[in-house]
Amino acid sequence: MVNMTLAIPQDLHEVMKKHSEIKWSEIARKAIREYAQKLEMLDKLVSDSNLKKEDIDEIDHEVKKAIAKHYRKYAE
């Protein structure tokens, strides 16, 4: 297994010190694994896609436009 060093904010360190019974390295390992699995799934989806950058930009624009329209009615 490979070792990794993390920098964490002081306030987080204080909480972790209060709960020394928790295996924080295991928590971090699980969180990193879950995130990596999500990235692998996204990579697989993208690798099978025929969409071009322009197609993605157009879909992005249409989705954002629809979301804005949806929430605009609540602002009125």
Measured in degrees and rounded to the nearest 5, phi and psi for residue 8 equal -125, 155
Other beta carbons within 10 angstroms of residue 75's beta carbon come to 6
Residue 1 is predicted with a pLDDT of 87
Mean pLDDT of 52-61: 90
Q: What's CA 33's distance to the chain center, in Å?
A: 12
Give the highest mean pLDDT range of 16-20, 40-44, 71-75. 16-20
**Is the pTM of the predicted complex or chain greater than 0.75?**
no
- Better pLDDT: 26 or 50: 26
Domain ranges of the chain: 10-75
- 16, containing H or E segment: helix 10-18
Handedness of CA 4, 40, 55, 57 (dihedral sign): negative
Percent of the chain with pLDDT over 70: 100
Residue 58 is predicted with a pLDDT of 93
